[in-house]
Structures are given as structure tokens and as C-alpha cells.
Structure 1
Amino acid sequence: MDPDRVLEGLDPEQTQAARALRGPVCILAGAGTGKTRAITHRIAHAVAGGVVDEQQVLAVTFTTRAAGEMRGRLRALGAPRVQARTFHAAALRQLSFFWPQVIGGERPTLIESKVQAVARAAHSVGIQPDRNGLRDLAGEIEWAKVTQVRPSDYEKTAAKTGRQTPLPGNEVARVFEAYEELRREHNLLDFESMLELTAGMINEYPAIAQRVRDQYRYFVVDEFQDVNPLQKLLLDAWLGDRDDICVVGDPSQTIYSFAGATPSYLTGFAARYPHATVVELVRDYRSTPQVVRVANHVISQARGTTSAGHLTLQAQRPDGPDPVYQEYEDEPAEATGVARKIAVMMQEGVPAGEIAILVRTNAQSAAYEQALNDEGIPFTVRGTSRFFERPEIKQAVHLLRGARHEVPGEEPAPLAGTVRQLLGQIGLTDAAPEGRRARERWESLSALAQLAENMAAGTGHGGRAVTMADFVDELDTRMAIEHAPGFEGVTIASLHAAKGLEWDAVFLVGLTEGMMPIIYAETDEQVEEERRLFYVGVTRAREHLSMSWALARSPGGRRTRKPSRFLDGLRPASPSTAARRAERRKGGPARCRVCAAALTDAAERKLGRCLDCPSSYDEALMERLREWRRAVSREQKIPAYVVFTDATLQAIAEQEPSGLSQLAAVSGVGAAKLERYGEAVLALVSGADPAQVFGGEDTGDEPEDPTDE
């Protein structure tokens, strides 16, 4: 391929990066600025121009998905033999190759999850944490290993760095030491030991170092802000005394410091290599100007070591809708409100697969799963397991391969129907089943069925019908580059898991102090990492961005939560209760207590909120109020709605006034009604039985309220 043709379609900064073919290169790439496009075109340009042989290039990234995407793009650009791998995959490949000559004997078993081994180690030293504690211990051991802290030094190092340990430092050290002993005794290898052994092998054996460095002469490292000391040790071993390395990253997206990552290698790159070429990519092709303004504002408030390196994004897309800021009374109301907004969005044409709900912690997911399920909206919870390594996918691929050969002379059966029929044999049903694991299995199989439907509807096979053999070939290609098919449903993911992804519409939820920033972010550095995490969430949105928070955890709970400080200067000022009352006294428009919009409808003014804003109240309280109203209505021989309308009762149930002054502030409770019914209503709110309040039993129905819709 003509080297100059490779550069076609790049913007000026991307072109500058792609033309910087030799020596150290640092690309500072903001969110949505096309960094993968820049680095893959740079590699392809170097290969096409004869600067380097494609088999001598090693492109390193952090996720199998990103590595697979990079390989796919390089293949399309005419460089299919470039190695694009994660640090761990590259290290495992090299360690496996050289193991017989360096160490010999039986190869160790790779541990993909430490939890079981940590549990055995903890038990051996008389410590028995619960499952959450085990996960925290495993994470702490990983941090120690990537930062090169030995068990004997752990307690002192943890105290010196102010680390929040899952157990007392001396107990973590004991479990850590027992874990390492267990690992050596049973010939187990974890990911950190694998990187350490590979680096040690290269550094200690000159012949191996020469072979590795002859093989790989040209390095590209993506997401360089997330490199940890152990990965840097391996990278330096690969490089030796050479400097043909291109690093790409964004200090503003450093979100793994808790796991040992440090942006200092990126921010200090130019100091280490004074002759380095430094290119900044700031043209944002992903998000609308409205989303970009939010992102720039959030990161402009950053403080600390990464604040000086933040990039100001320049939006390249046309205008879109303004971001939405929404306050809810409690968490269930927030989940329900978000699900309803998604339902409306889907009716307006936004595909479910282009919508995401991003949460700070995985524990927040359940409420949104339930709310989406109640609305009949398909969804998937993004996990960390590799798609093609899931047991159900391995079983499905085996089954599909067995059906790939057509009978000569017979018309091939329609692909989509055949694939669904085959997958039905191993659990694919028309509707998603109940239960997290059953649903995850169903989603995996459904993703394969959807891929078959998409291929069958396409036109990429010369006009002929797509066959089962074509489908299996596509699966084999996707497995080779680790390109998993997508599931057409709303994505629920943690902010950390969302890194590197993007959607048309993003809902950032639970944005309260204590959740964003998280409550255990105590130091300035930890709070700033939370700010960067929020920034990552904002920059996942292409067009629609919604940010919400709840004032209470559960219905009827105290509404004491405050919106995240990261929203300061972004969200419209929400009028206080006193201000709303003063506005009503002056004859001005009442305001919705949820979204602050002016209320014009009588029922809305009574409720104190828009009719389509989420409502949440104690159903038992509402029933007590209705039962009491029926009794009053019969006793006084007046229609029930004359006592209080349905809207006023609902407003009382929602606001749960604790005194006469608060009850008086509810629209529909005038002075006469306050005097006549106030004490009874407050008793009902406090939990009193309607029969005790009224002094009789409730029977029969009440007349319909003609003023309520």
C-alpha cells in the first residue's frame, strides 16, 4: 500500500502523530479524539513505508477487547501480522516459549482469579474473611505485587503510604506470605508473577534478551497513564537501550491508581526523552458540544499532579440536546425514573444497545436491573469475563461448527432461523429467564443469534445468501481478534468497566456525596481520582447525557443526601423549600420539587411536582389516608374529595410532613382543613391506625374525585 494513502482522512494532529515514525513519541489523546485511529495508521504507515517489518511491531494495550479492535483495524490497513496484545498475553507467550530452556520441568498453572487461593492462604493462618473480604484481600495482594512490595515489607509500606487495608497490616502480610508459599508449593502462576518472571528472564539471560529484542523493535503502548511499576519493568526489559517507542494516553483518564497504576510515566515521558515528539489530540469526534462543555468544566476543576496535563477538548459534532440534571426523592424513584426515560428514548428511536446506565459500584446495579425489567426493557450487565471463553459460547461454537457443512444439491436453510433453532437446544429461549447467571447465559447466546440475523440481513457476500459456513468463519475470525458480538440491550456497567466504551445516551446515576466521590476517598488525591472517574463517565456519551441523584436511600427515608460536588457549576440551582413557598405567596409559579420546572396544572401544583416526574411514597401510608378519608366522608356526609383530593393525599404521602407547619405547606391543605384534620393526618403519617384516629371502622367505597385525572 502507498504510505501516503494510509494517511488519508486523518486530521492535522493525527497526521503529525502518524508521520512521527522513529524515536520516542508521546501522543496525549483526549477522550473521543481518535487515538486508536492515529496509532493504527501510524503503524500501518511505518510498515507501508518500509520503516519496520510488521512482524517486528508489538502494540500493547490493557484489554483483550482493545487489542482485538486494534488487530482488526491493522488488518484492514494492510498490516495483519502486527502483534497487538495485552501485557499479560504478550508475557505469557514469551514465558511459555522460553520456559523449557530457562526453568524446565512442568509449566505452572495460571491462576485467573486469586480469590480461591487467597481463601486457602487465609484459612492456613487462621483468618476467615467473608467473600467480600476475600476479594479485597486479593486486590490488596495484587497492588503489593504490581508495586513490587514483598510480604515482609507490606505492613511498613502500607502504613507509610496511608493505604486503607482490608485487614490490619500485619494480618494482610501474613495472608500475603501464605499465598505466595501456596502458589510456589502447588506450581501456580498469577498474572503479576508472570510479568515479573518474564522481565527477570529477559534481564538475566542475555541470549533470551537478544532474541526478544531482535523479534520486537517497534513498540506502541496504549493507555500509558494506567501503566503500573511491574508493567513498566517488563516494558523496559523489552526495550533495552532503544527508544523506538510510542506511548498514548490521557492523564485526565487515570482511574486505576488504587490498583498501582501511575500517570507519572506518561507525564514524565518528555523529561525522560528530551528529544521526544509530543502530539496533542484535542478534536473530539465522539460527543456533541453540549457534552464536551460538561467534560471540559469537570476536568478544569481538577487539582493535584494530573491537573496540569489535562486537555481542553474541541467539539467537532453538531449541536445536540442539553444535558439533563434530575433530582429524585429516593433511590428506587431514581431507578424507576431512569427506566421510564429510557423507555421514552427508545420510543423516539434510540436503540437499546446505544444506551448505558453507569454506576459507581456494582451494588447499585440491582435496582436498575429491576426497574428495566419492570418496564420490559432488555438489558445486559457488563462483566469482565471474556466472551469467547464463556462455557455456553464454547458449547455453542462447537455445535455451530458441527452444522456448517451443507448437503450438496440442497438449498441452504435460512441462517438466522437455523442458528436460533440450534442455540435453542442449549438454552436460548424467546424471553430472558429470571436469575443473574441464567440471564447472563441467555444474553451470550442471544448475542450469537443477533449476529447471525445481522449477517443474514447484510449484503457483503456477493448477493448470495449467507451460509452457516460463512457464519462459522466469521466467528473464527472474531475469536482470533477477540471481537465479541454485542447484545442489543441497555448496558448497565460500573464507571471503571465503561472505560474505552461509548454510547449515544448515557445515564450517570447515584451522583451524591459519599457515592461520587465515594465515601472512602478521603485524601485530595483520592477525591481527584473520583473526579477523573466522573469525567470518564461523562465522555462516554455521544449525544444524550443525563445525570441524577437521590435525596434518600429508600422511600420514606430522611432526605439528607447532597448532590455530588462535581456537579457544582453545572446543574441549575434548585429552589429551596422556603423559596418555593415565598414564590407561591407572591403569586409566582409553583416549582416542581424534582426538576424545578414551573407547575401550571392544578393537579401538578397539588402534588408539588410534574405529573411525569417520578413519584414514590409509602403505599401503607397512602392506604391509611384513604381509609381515614372514607370514614370522614361517611360521618360528615360529604364526598371524599371534599375532605382531601387524591392529589393532596398523594402529596401528603410523598412529603410525609412531621408538623403542622410542614402540612400547611402542602398544596390543598388550607387553614380550615389544617384546623379540622391536621392532627389526625399527622397521626396517620406517624403510623397510627385509621380506626384509632377516627374512632370507628372503615367500610365501603368512597366517591370518585372528579377533579383528579
Structure 2
Amino acid sequence: MPELELDPEQRKAVEHGEGPLLIIAGPGSGKTGVITRRILHLLETVPGLRPENILALTYTDKAASEMKARISRSLPGLGSGPSSGREPSGGGPHISTFHSYCYQVLRERGFERRLLDQTDVWIFLRQRIEQLELDFYQKLAEPGAFLHDLNNFFSRCQDELVEPERFEAYVGEAERRFLARAPSLDPAEREFEEQNVRKLREVARVFRKSRELLQAAGRTSFGSLFSETLALWNSEPDSLDRQRARYLFILVDEFQDTNYAQIEILKRLAVRPSNLTAVGDDDQAIYRFRGASSGAFQLFREAFPRRTELFLFRNYRSTRRILRAASVLIRRNDRALGEKPALHTSNPEGPRIILLQSADAASEAAWIAEEISRLLGRGTTGSEIAALYRAHAYRDRLVEELGRREIPFSIRGLSVLASSVLRDLVAYLQLLHSPHENVSLTRVLLAPRWKFPEELAMAAREEASRRHCSLFAAVESFDEGSGASGVARQLTGWRELKGLLEKLRRKSEREQMTKLFDALVSGLGLTFLPGEEEGVYLETFRKFLEEWEEKSETRKFREFMEYFNYFVEAGGRIERPSPADPAAVQLMSVHAAKGLEFFVVFILSVSPQRFPHREQKPLIEFPDDLRNAPAPAKGIHLQEERRLLYVAMTRAKERLYISSVSKSAKKRSIFIEDLLSDPAVRAKDIEEISVPPLEAAGSREPARSRKSRKDGRDLFRGTPHPETFHPDLAGWAARPAVLALDGKLELSATAVEDYLTCPLKYKFGHLLKIPTGPQAALTFGSVMHRSVRRYFELRRTHLPTFEEIKEYFEDVWKSAGYEDKYQEETYRKTGLEQLREFIARQNAQPLEAREIQFEKGFRWDLDDIAVEGRIDQINPLGDHPFVPRPTDQGLREVELVDYKTGKPRPPSEADKSLQLSVYALAARREMGLEPVRLSLYYLTNNQVVSTVRSAKQLDAAVEKIREVADQIRAQRFEPSPGFACKWCDYVPICPAHEENF
């Protein structure tokens, strides 16, 4: 729609006079243009109104920038936005986010505390986690695991203006209610409710403590800005009076995304005549997970009963067919605001919506990529085509297919930390921080620049395994003993690398982080042409370093690496600038597509459990009793997911493709059923296409790498020798592993489970023998196993005391592998508590410890496989508890025990445990024993979970081992990216995590 043309409803909105105005604007109705035109109209028609008397608030910085740009185009020379100082510049309207506005209000009153975003709050608390005194919300292996959950809950409290004092009062009342009911509860109910009250008390304590720590350090969170602003206005009414006098007209865009606290800010500002204009659409409310109130419009209506309401539902973007289908979908939601006008347009009917049904993700991706290729061939510009998805993982197959066809694409919303160039440089930084960082050294040595042959790297890894040392130490031993041998010539690059690292190490002690980073980039010989993509990534990372230095105490390398490792652990992202490539097909999440439009839109994987996405309830639920905003409607999750699909559909201007992946039409997403529920729309506006299964994956041509594309662009164009910097991870990982094909393939239960989790992880750990260094959970588990064994050794002569085992525990304790002192001391304390309970339990039972066997090793043959392992404990069974009894086959009956130091699992885990099955097979085949009971002993709570194995179950375990062995011999080592990657040490060298941008 041309900038100056207004339809009748838009004109009413633009020319509205004084008083509150609520505009409910459907997608593509030109609402942002209406806000901009209203600002211009007010400046032209309200006597004495100056630009600085207008406050326009948006939800994102991007939206604020867009509005500023529109104002600037309409009124050249007129500024827009807050001043960088303490007072507004007076040059133009104040256009910003709510957070920026509140920050300015506070700064005008001398507010000097530094703002921390969610990631920095997580890091701040992780660095002070000992002071939080966590109990229920503490995880030994991952100390910061629950900080996100706690932080998210505190943010919800801030959205609802619930301060620590109010939450503590709520907890106190909950405790009083429990104590009153406790006598009438059965023991299980009483224990459950008491634990819930204790959890609430812990949350309340941490809420207050985190606030105190932030204040003491001169920090505050973004979410606190609203409560701090309201508190300022309560304590200093003149500050509020100044804001009211300054801003005579207030406009809010994307009102559906506001929360209760933001609405309170507006209510306090907009006093009579309440010149507040709010524009939004409840059908596009998709940010409840960020705290947006589902009742924003209801709150507006309650606060301003004498408002004017207008509806903008004339769509200037999409075809009639798209709008009819989108309307059918969204009508399935509750109409909280009552009936609204239907979306309508004067645009053409347009082509039918294509509804795909594919049997699997591979055939879906291939069909869509082929259709994109066809559209490009007919003249559609790449940047006018978008593929939208509910979660980033759903586009991986499409990325492969686009690469296979050499179709340029751009993925929005990714972090530069996922790019190859940054993953390489981070490996150097990690190596500089700790030379014994084995996986980082593995990645660095793969760079052709260092001329380090894989055969020598393999020998070094085997040496590190044999000597139980780091990979760095193993290579050093080769260097020291090489003399004038051929090995010495192979180590030339190694010595050059060591020289570079030593030079950088000296610089790191005296230079600030940005200069060290510049020296690293220079030392590696990286230079880029202006605007080159990898160069942009480095510039983006350097800006991240500059921003860190502004909030750093030392600006030095050691401090940065602590911060950066926590940043990565917290899930921190450094947003990649979106390249303006007109030839590139746009790939992004639906959330990222909000506010955008494209000629062609593909919506991927509208399938059960994917779209709608499975609901993930917060670990710490916000209590309904504390809500200030209206409570969410029943079924709110499904309704929000439906709104999300509605937003995705209404991004399309001309062509819309909705893709479903399911083997049967009976198992389609409920949203597909919604779209097909209107017979007229189904018949007239939708074309259903069934996509046949794709040909076998093995026969398909692999996707070309970036270095082999037709345009011939090098990854590092402009670098003197680009091919020497970047390791070919995919090629290296795909190289056949050396197997003892003429001998036995050695497998343990752990090795088989590693393969089943991820074949490439198995290859890295068991075949390439890439060391990962000590890990806290394994170090702790070893000490606990040794302590338990010591107990039973002493039990042969007397009842051991806790003090005896504690002394042994302290003697064998090792500090290797712990993240920090806090984690180590937490493990130590927990281990002693578990041992105290274990000893008390065992000492209360009769036992003939002389018959017990510990850590019994085994190795048994299965065709050309050698299955090996070690059983923690073998307990004899019989008529007398301590005397083994022969079975009908002449085998002694025993119990096999495996001690666990991790989180207790349900009994079904013991029933399915491959490890217990392998133990049972070993006992029968190699030891002449009959395992009639298989037990997992969880030291965490001193509970035993026992199971048995039938002959059929043991045969299934044998078959599973054979299947894995066959796959290994066939060199099938494809990565299996997924949830388990979170704990995998090999992520820095895994090709599956090397983003193809």
C-alpha cells in the first residue's frame, strides 16, 4: 500500500482526537504505517505539540528502528529517539522499547546500576552460586542447571510486579495451610506437600538473595526496570509529573506482547485525557513464554472504559485464498475479545494453497527444495521465498537439499559462534587457556597449516591413553624424543604452533582481550575482503569482546575465558547479522518471521509433536494466587500454537505451502484438521499433494560443500592461504577407522550404548581414542565405588564405622575434572552424606562379606566379538542368605549389583539396561553363575532397584550387540545430533554442529 493512501478505518485511527484509542489490527493491515501517520498527523494538527511530546513504545529494537526510519523519511531532519545523555534531546519523538524508556527515566534520577540481560544474570549468579545455598535446585554434575528455571520464574514475578516480600508472604501462607491440613493427610501425601513447601521456601530465599547480590554489585536485570520505575514514581511523584508533562501523546505498537508491568507503566503515564493509542492483535499474541500477558486487551478495557475501539481488517498483503484459510484456522480459538470483522482484501484470489503430506522429513525436504528450484527458474527472487519452522532442527534436511541443488540460502537467528571460523578461533582460545584441552587441540591439529599427519595424531592419542596424560603431553613426548628422526620433520608445524601459543600467552598477561584477539587473528594470517561473510563474523565477535570489556574488571584473557565458558553454558548467543543477499532463500523460525512478508512461504513440519509443539511447562510454576493479570484461558498452549501458525500463514503474499510429515493421514497435526474443517475452503482454496517416499538415502548424491560450489568462492577469500586454516571436519570424520578386521572386535556395554546414542561419538572415543580429560561425575563415581568396596573389605572382619570410610574417602579423593571449588565441595559433601546413609543401612543387615566378589572382570566371546567389562559386585544367594545354592544346571545363584551415583531412575530402566544384560551373560558364560537377581543400587538415595532377565531378553541383548558390531564393521558412523549433544565433549569437532549458513 502506498505510504500516503489511507482506507476509511485507517483514517479514523490516524485522525482520532484525544482520549484512549484501542486499535485491533489484523495481519497485513498496515498498522505500523498507521502509527507513523498518526504521529505525523498529531504534529500537524495539535496546537503547540512538539515532537518531543510524543512517546512511541515498541516491543523490539528492530521495530523501534523501523518506526524511526519511517518518521525520518516523512520528516527529513527531524530526529527520533531518546538522547544518549540523561535528558531527552528534544529533537524528535521518543521511539524506543519499554525497557529503554524505563532505563532513561531511571537515569534521569541518577540511576547508575549496570543492566544485565538474562544470560548475564545467569552468569552473575553462577559465579556466586555458593551464596545461593541451593538444595532442591542443585545438580551436582551441572551446578547451573536450575539457574535458568529460577531466573525465568523471577522474570515472571517481575512481569507481574511481584517483589520478594510478596512472594515470601505467599509462601508463609502456603506453609500455614499445609500445617493445618497435615494431620489429616496420609504419610505419602504429607511428605509430598511438605517437600513442595520446602521448595517454595528455597525459591523465596534465592529470589531475595539474588536481588540482594545484584544490588550490592551495582547491577540490575532488564525485568527489574519496570518495578524500579514504578517504585521511583511512588517515592518521587515529581518524576512521574515530569514524564506526564513531557509526553502528551503515547502510542504503543504490538500491544498484544505487553505484560502486566508494562501496562501499569502506561496506566500511570496516561492520565486524563489519557491520550494513549494501543495497536495490536490478540490473534497474533505469540510471546507468552516471554511474559506477555494473554489478557493485555482486557486490562486496557478495564483501565480505560471510555476508550474508542477501531478494527483494521482490510489486508493489503495476502491473496483471498490465503486469508480464507487463515481465518478458518484462527476461528478455532476462543474469541476472548468477542467477534471481530473477518479479514478481507481487494487482492486477487491467487493460486491454491498447497497442502503437502510426506511420509518422512527427507521426502518433505526434497520436494520443497525441488519446488524452490522450480520457482527460482520461473523468475522468483530467492529473498522473496521463505521457509518457516517451529524449531531450528526442523530445517536441517531442507538445508541439505538446498545445498545439494546449489541454491543459495540464508538462515536467520543463528549465532556466529556456530560458524566454522569462530569455532576454529574458539578452539585456539581454549587451547591458550589450557594446553591440555584435548578436544580443542584435536581440532587445531586438523588444520592443514600445521601439517600434522593423522597417523601421528593417532599415535599421540594412543600414547595419551596408555600414559593417562593429555594429548598435548603425548605430542610433547614425541617432540622431545624425536631427535633427527622422520618424526622430527613431521613436528615442524607443531613447533610453529607452540611458538604462536607461547607468544599469545605472554601477550595475554599484559594486553586486554580485544588486542589479544587481534593478535590471534593476525598470527593466523586471517584477512578478509570488505563485507566478506566470515569477516563479518569476526567483526561481530570483536564487538562482543568490546562490550564485555566495558563490564569487565580486568579486561584480561583469564577473566574473559571464565565469562565466555559460562556464556556458552548459559546458552548465550551472539546474533549473526542477516546478510542482504537478494539471491538467498530465507530460512527462519516463525517467531523470527513476525512482522515480515514474502512472496512465497513454505511452512515446514506441521505435524504432531512438532507443530503444535509439545507443551513444556516451567519447572517452577507461577502461582495463580499471585497473578495480577487475568489468568490464561484453558488450553492456552494449543491456542498460542494455533496463533503461531496463523502468523506463519499470513506472512505469505502470493503462494503458501503447508507441509505435514506423517505416514498416515489419520495421524496428521490437529492444525491440518482445522484447515480442512471447512468443506468450501478445502474444495476451493486448498490443493492436497501426497509426496512419495524418497529413494534410498545411500543412493543420493551428497550435498556439495561450500568449497565446491559453481561460483568457486573460497571459504576465506582474500586470505593468503585459506585452505591451510580451516580443518575439513566432515572429511576427517568420514575417513574409515582402522579396525582389527582379522581379530576380535572388542565391545563393552558402555561402548555399545555409546554407539546407540551416537555412532560418531563411539568412533571418536573408542576407535580414534580422542581423550576428553577428567569429568566431575566420573571422578566422583570412581571415589564412591572405591569407598563402597572398602566398606565390604572391612566388613569381613568387623562392622566398619563411618569415620573409617570417611578417612579412606578423603585419602582417595581427587580434584580432577570439577568445574570449580564449589562443585568439588558440593560433590564431597554429598558423597559423605550418601556414604553415611549407606553404612547405616548396611550395618543394620546381616551379611557374610567373605563370599562377596568385587569388580569382577570378564571377557567372553560372541562369534568375532569380544565382550568385556567389570561387574561392581557379586552377592551369593541360597537357602541360607550367605551360602550359594546350585541350580538344576549346577550353577550357583547370585545377585549382580551395579552401583550408581547419578539420578535414580524408574524401575523400567533396570528392566531395559543393556549393561545388566551383559553382566548376566558374562556370569553365565564365563563364571558358571546363575544371576537370579540383577540390581541397580542408587547411592543417591540408597535405594535398590532389582530385575531379572529371561532367556528371550538375553537373546535380544546378544542380537543387539551383533547388530552394533555389524554397523561398526560397515564403518557406519553418522552423527546423531539431539538432546544428548548437551553433554557430549566432542561437539567442538563434530561436523553435525558445524552450521552451514
TM range (shorter): 0.5 to 0.7
Structure 2: state its 5+ residue gaps: 80-91, 175-195, 423-524, 543-576, 618-633, 679-686, 701-959, 964-997
The SS at the match of 1:66 is helix
Give the whole-Å Cα distance in 2 for the aligned partners of 1:443 and 1:538.
Answer: 33
Deviations 1:273-312 (A, max 9, x none): 3332211111100111111111111111112635x35541
Q: How many pairs were matched up?
A: 493
Question: Do 2:301 and 2:307's aligned partners in 1 also have CA atoms closer than 8 Å?
Answer: yes
Q: CA deviation at 1:181?
A: 3.2
Give the whole-Å Cα distance in 1 for the aligned partners of 2:405 and 2:147.
Answer: 36
Deviations 1:571-611 (A, max 9, x none): 599xxxxxxxxxxxxxxxxxxxxx976xxxxxxxxxxx87x
- Per the alignment, residue 365 of structure 2 pairs with 335
- What are the within-5 Å matches in structure 2 for residues 619-698 of structure 1? 619=698
Task: Please tell me the residue identity of whatever aligns with 1:198.
Answer: T
The answer to whether the aligner puts 1:540 opposite 2:537 as a matched pair is no
- Per the alignment, residue 502 of structure 1 pairs with 597
For the aligned residue pairs, the C-alpha RMSD in angstroms reads: 4.0
Residue 203 to residue 178, structure 1, CA distance change in 2 (3 Å): closer
Give the whole-Å Cα distance in 1 for the aligned partners of 2:319 and 2:15.
Answer: 29
- Per the alignment, residue 213 of structure 2 pairs with 182
Q: CA deviation at 1:177?
A: 4.0
Q: CA deviation at 1:211?
A: 1.7
Question: Do 1:427 and 1:442's aligned partners in 2 also have CA atoms closer than 8 Å?
Answer: no
The correspondence for 1:89, drawn from 96, 100, 112, is 100
Structure 1: state its 5+ residue gaps: 1-5, 393-423, 446-482, 553-558, 574-594, 598-608, 622-685, 690-709
The answer to whether the aligner puts 1:517 opposite 2:514 as a matched pair is no
Task: Please tell me the residue identity of whatever aligns with 1:564.
Answer: S
Question: Do 2:354 and 2:688's aligned partners in 1 also have CA atoms closer than 8 Å?
Answer: no
Give the whole-Å Cα distance in 2 for the aligned partners of 1:384 and 1:197.
Answer: 33
The correspondence for 2:694, drawn from 615, 620, 628, is 615
Give the whole-Å Cα distance in 2 for the aligned partners of 1:213 and 1:525.
Answer: 36
Q: Quick check: which has more Rg, 1 or 2?
A: 2
Give the whole-Å Cα distance in 2 for the aligned partners of 1:570 and 1:525.
Answer: 19
Residue 572 to residue 280, structure 1, CA distance change in 2 (3 Å): closer
Deviations 1:670-691 (A, max 9, x none): xxxxxxxxxxxxxxxx9999xx
Task: Please tell me the residue identity of whatever aligns with 1:119.
Answer: R
The SS at the match of 2:667 is coil
The correspondence for 1:193, drawn from 189, 206, 224, is 224
- Per the alignment, residue 46 of structure 1 pairs with 42
- Per the alignment, residue 133 of structure 2 pairs with 125
Give the whole-Å Cα distance in 1 for the aligned partners of 2:205 and 2:4.
Answer: 58
Question: Do 1:109 and 1:187's aligned partners in 2 also have CA atoms closer than 8 Å?
Answer: no
Question: Do 1:255 and 1:533's aligned partners in 2 also have CA atoms closer than 8 Å?
Answer: yes
Residue 40 to residue 430, structure 1, CA distance change in 2 (3 Å): closer
Give the whole-Å Cα distance in 2 for the aligned partners of 1:316 and 1:203.
Answer: 51
The SS at the match of 2:109 is helix
Question: Do 1:196 and 1:234's aligned partners in 2 also have CA atoms closer than 8 Å?
Answer: no
Q: CA deviation at 1:147?
A: 1.8
Q: CA deviation at 1:324?
A: 0.9
Give the whole-Å Cα distance in 2 for the aligned partners of 1:331 and 1:529.
Answer: 25
Task: Please tell me the residue identity of whatever aligns with 2:244.
Answer: R
Task: Please tell me the residue identity of whatever aligns with 2:589.
Answer: S
Deviations 1:177-236 (A, max 9, x none): 443233223211111112221222123212212222221111001111111011112222
- What are the within-5 Å matches in structure 2 for residues 179-578 of structure 1? 179-303=210-334, 305=336, 308-383=338-413, 427=528, 486-488=580-582, 489-520=584-615, 524-551=635-662, 562-571=667-676
The answer to whether the aligner puts 1:13 opposite 2:9 as a matched pair is yes
Deviations 1:372-399 (A, max 9, x none): 333323333322889xxxx99xxxxxxx
The SS at the match of 2:359 is strand
Question: Do 1:7 and 1:18's aligned partners in 2 also have CA atoms closer than 8 Å?
Answer: no
Deviations 1:99-124 (A, max 9, x none): 1xxx6xx5434446333234345564
The answer to whether the aligner puts 1:98 opposite 2:109 as a matched pair is yes
- Per the alignment, residue 114 of structure 2 pairs with 108
The SS at the match of 2:6 is coil
Residue 41 to residue 358, structure 1, CA distance change in 2 (3 Å): same
- What are the within-5 Å matches in structure 2 for residues 14-29 of structure 1? 14-29=10-25
Give the whole-Å Cα distance in 2 for the aligned partners of 1:146 and 1:274.
Answer: 23
Q: Which moved more, 1:488-497 or 1:294-303?
A: 488-497
Give the whole-Å Cα distance in 2 for the aligned partners of 1:567 and 1:121.
Answer: 49
The SS at the match of 1:547 is strand
Give the whole-Å Cα distance in 1 for the aligned partners of 2:200 and 2:354.
Answer: 44
Deviations 1:22-74 (A, max 9, x none): 11111110000011111211110110113432110001110111111111112
Give the whole-Å Cα distance in 2 for the aligned partners of 1:335 and 1:117.
Answer: 42
Task: Please tell me the residue identity of whatever aligns with 2:309.
Answer: V
Task: Please tell me the residue identity of whatever aligns with 2:389.
Answer: V
- Per the alignment, residue 139 of structure 1 pairs with 152
Give the whole-Å Cα distance in 1 for the aligned partners of 2:540 and 2:150.
Answer: 31
The answer to whether the aligner puts 1:76 opposite 2:73 as a matched pair is yes
- Per the alignment, residue 917 of structure 2 pairs with none
- Per the alignment, residue 683 of structure 2 pairs with none
The SS at the match of 2:591 is coil
Give the whole-Å Cα distance in 1 for the aligned partners of 2:126 and 2:13.
Answer: 48
The SS at the match of 1:286 is coil
Q: CA deviation at 1:531?
A: 1.0
The SS at the match of 1:314 is coil
Question: Do 1:117 and 1:179's aligned partners in 2 also have CA atoms closer than 8 Å?
Answer: no
Residue 425 to residue 76, structure 1, CA distance change in 2 (3 Å): farther
Percentage of pairs with the same residue: 29
Question: Do 1:224 and 1:265's aligned partners in 2 also have CA atoms closer than 8 Å?
Answer: yes
Deviations 1:424-454 (A, max 9, x none): 9854599967xxxx99669999xxxxxxxxx
The correspondence for 1:35, drawn from 31, 34, 49, is 31
Residue 132 to residue 370, structure 1, CA distance change in 2 (3 Å): farther
Give the whole-Å Cα distance in 2 for the aligned partners of 1:385 and 1:218.
Answer: 38
Give the whole-Å Cα distance in 2 for the aligned partners of 1:484 and 1:71.
Answer: 20
The SS at the match of 1:519 is coil
Deviations 1:481-530 (A, max 9, x none): xx987444222222222211111111111111222222217951221111
TM value normalised by structure 2 = 0.45
Residue 687 to residue 323, structure 1, CA distance change in 2 (3 Å): farther
Q: CA deviation at 1:356?
A: 1.6
Question: Do 2:394 and 2:604's aligned partners in 1 also have CA atoms closer than 8 Å?
Answer: no
Residue 366 to residue 440, structure 1, CA distance change in 2 (3 Å): farther
Give the whole-Å Cα distance in 1 for the aligned partners of 2:373 and 2:163.
Answer: 52
Question: Do 1:29 and 1:249's aligned partners in 2 also have CA atoms closer than 8 Å?
Answer: yes
Residue 376 to residue 264, structure 1, CA distance change in 2 (3 Å): same
Q: CA deviation at 1:153?
A: 6.1
Question: Do 2:319 and 2:349's aligned partners in 1 also have CA atoms closer than 8 Å?
Answer: yes
Question: Do 2:605 and 2:660's aligned partners in 1 also have CA atoms closer than 8 Å?
Answer: yes
Question: Do 2:26 and 2:281's aligned partners in 1 also have CA atoms closer than 8 Å?
Answer: yes
Q: CA deviation at 1:19?
A: 1.1
Give the whole-Å Cα distance in 2 for the aligned partners of 1:178 and 1:372.
Answer: 51
TM value normalised by structure 1 = 0.62
- What are the within-5 Å matches in structure 2 for residues 151-162 of structure 1? 151=164
